[in-house]
């Protein structure tokens, strides 16, 4: 097994560059230290300033949330097609009913709550606000709801990752207070807990055992009724949970999902301004999670033309602005890009499969109780390196067509992140490795992973649905090599 590539001397851009010239290789220390805007940032700021305030603060992305993206190589467009007469396998694409995007759009939440609850016949019932541990976002929101004559109760998610205990406590509060709708504001934890609460409220309330609905560790009972009205307001740019149909919860030493199409949010409100307060480490981890959730669906064995377009757009946005957001947190243009990267990642993972990074993340999250984004960030370059090596080696010998198709997809990714038309898959891996090092992502050993854990982690992770989406079925030894490289 060829080991994962080591970081090469590949400098990374700390400027926001034009979408027409993604991620040119730049190393400008003065620009990083002063956070002076690049010409592209100045142009985007000028356009924002010249637009009317009402337009800027009411940007609604209706059905077409996908901008024009560079087309992937034609040969790689449908590696799973079985019939020589058909080039596109059947697919579905589902997401939140309504996406509201733009700076200042959080101010629209009370009106959206009124609109949605009136439509659903529960306007007289209080709203449960699910938030993070602090009241940084929940306090202004509940004040705004009160001013709009909307009663609310707040549940604060203590700790880091969402757990079954957290979800059960939130469900109990919502049931006790007679809440008819849910608004989640915060990172992935409040959004996942909020989705779970909204789903259970209309499917038995606190009466059924939450484990009835959980996959892997529970009965995976399907929902029979639509979730209660639910609005997601993310304050981090990474998980993409605001547009997915599942809630990921820690259940003991495992991370498992409650999943159903009825759990898709009714509205998600993405206000990039809310992400400016993220600490640098959270910006890095969630940003790399978002990038991973664009890369893995693009190279997965279940991609489709729509997820391809969305994922490539997300990769462009993340490659262009992740480092900029990390080093210049008040750069709104960079924050906008990262919110788009997160959104596109959520849309992609919800409608295609992921891969070995997320195949491991559930097991490792339950074992280490480490942030999901940090786990994905540590694994991403090594997963790509091992996949590429396997595709060039044993897959090329047994299925040359599949090997070529998937390698072309990794080359597509490499061209986007490096901005070079001649970039190879190895160049893409080197770029990811350098970025992970540049933003200071810790190894998994920092969180307590030991080599003695590998056998158990690999055994449990092989059961993951995400692992089944990896472009190549990796052996136990290859999976252990990935973990070893990420220590």
Cα–Cα distance between 283 and 285 in angstroms, integer? Answer: 6
Are 237 and 300 found together in one domain? Answer: no
Are 242 and 313 found together in one domain? Answer: no
Q: What are the tokens at 464? A: 């993951």
Lowest pLDDT segment from 120-124, 157-161, 168-172, 463-467: 157-161
Are 250 and 345 found together in one domain? Answer: no
Q: Following DSSP, what letter does each residue of 12-34 receive, concatenated?
A: ---S---TTSTT-----HHHHHH
Give the pLDDT band (50/70/90) at residue 327.
very high
pLDDT above 90 (res 60): no
Long-range contacts of 420-423 (CB under 8 A, 24+ apart): none
Tell me what pLDDT residue 323 has: 97
Tell me what pLDDT residue 412 has: 98
Give the pLDDT band (50/70/90) at residue 94.
confident
Are 201 and 108 found together in one domain? Answer: yes
Q: What CATH number is attached to the domain comprising 161?
A: 3.40.50.1970
pLDDT above 60 (res 79): no
Report if residue 38 sits inside a domain.
no
Are 386 and 317 found together in one domain? Answer: yes
Are 225 and 339 found together in one domain? Answer: no
Percent of the chain with pLDDT over 90: 70
Cα–Cα distance between 384 and 360 in angstroms, integer? Answer: 14
Are 163 and 228 found together in one domain? Answer: yes
Report if residue 16 sits inside a domain.
no
Report if residue 450 sits inside a domain.
yes
Are 163 and 254 found together in one domain? Answer: yes
Are 251 and 297 found together in one domain? Answer: no
Cα–Cα distance between 260 and 213 in angstroms, integer? Answer: 9
Helices (H), 354-423: 356-368, 372-390, 396-398, 400-418
Q: What CATH number is attached to the domain comprising 422?
A: 1.20.1090.10
**Is the separation of the CB atoms in 243 and 265 below 8 Å?**
yes
Report if residue 42 sits inside a domain.
no
**Helix orientation angle between 372-390 and 476-486, rounded to the nearest 10 degrees:** 130
Are 188 and 251 found together in one domain? Answer: yes
Tell me what pLDDT residue 206 has: 66
Cα–Cα distance between 356 and 380 in angstroms, integer? Answer: 9
Report if residue 25 sits inside a domain.
no
Q: Which of residues 274, 297, 314 is at a domain's end?
A: 274
Picking from 395, 299, 425, the residue whose alpha carbon sits closest to that of residue 352 is 299
Which one has a higher pLDDT value, 238 or 392? 392
Q: Residue 308: how many CB atoms within 10 A of its CB?
A: 23
pLDDT tens-digit map of 129-173: 999 999 999 999 999 999 999 999 999 998 778 999 999 999 999
Give the pLDDT band (50/70/90) at residue 84.
low
Q: Which of residues 274, 293, 310 is at a domain's end?
A: 274
Tell me what pLDDT residue 406 has: 98
pLDDT tens-digit map of 233-288: 999 998 899 999 999 898 887 788 899 999 999 999 999 999 999 999 999 999 99
Q: Which of residues 274, 299, 330 is at a domain's end?
A: 274
Tell me what pLDDT residue 48 has: 40
Region 385-411 average pLDDT: 97
Cα–Cα distance between 306 and 348 in angstroms, integer? Answer: 8
Cα–Cα distance between 47 and 45 in angstroms, integer? Answer: 5
Tell me what pLDDT residue 485 has: 97
Are 148 and 239 found together in one domain? Answer: yes
Report if residue 370 sits inside a domain.
yes
Lowest pLDDT segment from 71-85, 171-185, 355-369, 449-463: 71-85
- Quote the mean pLDDT of the chain: 84
Are 410 and 370 found together in one domain? Answer: yes
For 202, the domain range is: 98-274
- The percent helix, strand, coil of the chain (3-state, each to 5) is 55, 10, 35
The total domain count for the chain is 2
Report if residue 71 sits inside a domain.
no
């Amino acid at each position: 097994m060829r080991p994962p590539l080591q970081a090469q001397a590949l400098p990374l851009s700390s400027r926001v560059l034009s979408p027409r010239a993604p991620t040119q290789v730049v190393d400008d220390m003065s620009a990083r230290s002063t956070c002076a805007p690049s010409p592209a940032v100045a142009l985007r700021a000028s356009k924002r300033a010249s637009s009317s305030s009402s337009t800027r603060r009411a940007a609604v992305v209706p059905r077409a949330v996908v901008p024009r993206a560079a087309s992937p190589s034609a040969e790689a467009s449908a590696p799973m097609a079985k019939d020589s007469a058909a080039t596109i396998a059947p697919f579905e694409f589902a997401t939140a009913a309504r996406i509201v995007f733009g700076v200042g759009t959080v101010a629209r939440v009370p009106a959206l709550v009124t609109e949605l609850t009136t439509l659903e016949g529960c306007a007289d019932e209080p709203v449960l606000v699910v938030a993070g541990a602090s009241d940084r976002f929940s306090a202004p929101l509940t004040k705004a709801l009160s001013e709009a004559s909307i009663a609310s109760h707040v549940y604060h998610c203590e700790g880091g990752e969402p757990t079954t205990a957290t979800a059960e406590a939130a469900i109990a509060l919502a049931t006790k207070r007679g809440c008819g709708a849910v608004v989640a504001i915060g990172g992935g934890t409040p959004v996942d807990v909020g989705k779970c609460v909204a789903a259970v409220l209309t499917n038995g309330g606190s009466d059924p055992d939450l484990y009835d609905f959980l996959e892997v560790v529970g009965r995976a009972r399907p929902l029979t009724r639509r979730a209660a009205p639910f609005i997601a307001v993310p304050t981090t740019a990474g998980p993409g949970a605001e547009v997915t149909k599942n809630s990921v919860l820690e259940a003991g030493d495992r991370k498992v999902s409650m999943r159903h199409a009825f759990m898709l949010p009714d509205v998600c409100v993405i206000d990039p301004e809310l992400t400016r307060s993220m600490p640098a480490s959270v910006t890095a981890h969630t940003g790399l999670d978002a990038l991973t959730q664009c890369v893995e669906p693009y190279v997965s064995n279940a991609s489709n033309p729509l997820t391809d377009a969305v994922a490539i757009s997300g990769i462009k946005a993340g490659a262009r602005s992740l480092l900029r957001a990390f080093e210049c947190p008040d750069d709104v243009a960079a924050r906008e890009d990262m919110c788009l990267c997160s959104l596109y990642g959520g849309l992609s993972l919800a409608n295609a499969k992921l891969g070995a990074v997320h195949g491991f993340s559930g097991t490792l999250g339950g074992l280490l109780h480490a942030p999901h984004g940090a786990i994905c960030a540590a694994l991403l370059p090594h997963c790509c390196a091992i996949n590429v090596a396997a595709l060039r080696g044993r897959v090329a010998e047994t299925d040359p067509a599949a090997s070529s198709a998937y390698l072309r997809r990794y080359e597509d990714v490499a061209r986007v992140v490096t901005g070079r038309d001649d970039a190879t898959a190895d160049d893409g891996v080197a770029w990811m490795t350098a970025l992970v090092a540049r933003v200071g992502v810790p190894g998994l050993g920092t969180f307590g992973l030991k080599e003695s854990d590998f056998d158990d982690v690999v055994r449990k992770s092989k059961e993951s649905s995400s692992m089944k989406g990896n472009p190549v079925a990796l052996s136990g030894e290859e999976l252990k090599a990935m973990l070893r490289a990420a220590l």
